[in-house]
Homo-oligomer: A and B are copies of this chain.
Amino acid sequence: MISKACRYGIRAVVYLASRYGETAKSSFAEISREVDAPEAYTAKILQILTKSGIISSIKGPNGGFYMERLQIDQAVINIVDTIDGLDVFYECGLGLKQCSASRPCPMHDQYKMARETLLDSFSRTTIEQLARRVKEGSSFVRNLAIPGVG
């Protein structure tokens, strides 16, 4: 569905958003640790997200990644768009070159429905909403620690 890079990206952004208000910025080392993602790879993803304005960053001592209020209020779909693009939400589920109602594949109606449900939920949900769930402890962006590992 969505790429690994994009899943790491969403988790990272939600983590960052959940730290909104804290004075200290987060390094990619901290972020990758907190979302169980490979460090160097996460750095690349954060770089892309920064360039596209999803998150912000400052170099040097006391620098790091952080988010502004306006960034936190964005829809989650913006992250997906930046990393993977939105093609997946418009493509044919059976791989035809064009998904269209006028020349549909035999799964068209059903696939389109599921695809749109997902697009809809990514579009309507803000980063802030996800961050809130994480802050209140009802959901998580990192795996359960395995005793004796990590």
Q: Is the CB of B114 within 8 A of A118?
A: yes
CB neighbors of B among A122-148 (8 A):
125, 129-131, 133-134, 138-144
Complex: chain B residue closest to A118, CB-CB: B114
Stretch in contact with the other chain, from A26-34, A57-65, A66-74, A91-99: A91-99
Q: Assembly of this chain: how many copies?
A: 2
A53 sits at the interface (CB 8 A): no
A88 at the interface (CB under 8 A from B): yes
A21 at the interface (CB under 8 A from B): no
CB of B95 within 8 A of CB of A8, answer yes
B94 and A107 form a contact (CB under 8 A) = no
A149 to chain B, nearest CB (A): 12
Contacts of A125 in B (CB 8 A): 107, 110
**Shortest beta-carbon distance, A145 to chain B, in Å?**
11
- Give the nearest-CB partner of A127 in chain B: B106
Do B88 and A1 have beta carbons less than 8 Å apart?
Answer: yes
* In the assembled complex, A14 has its CB within 8 A of some CB on chain B: yes
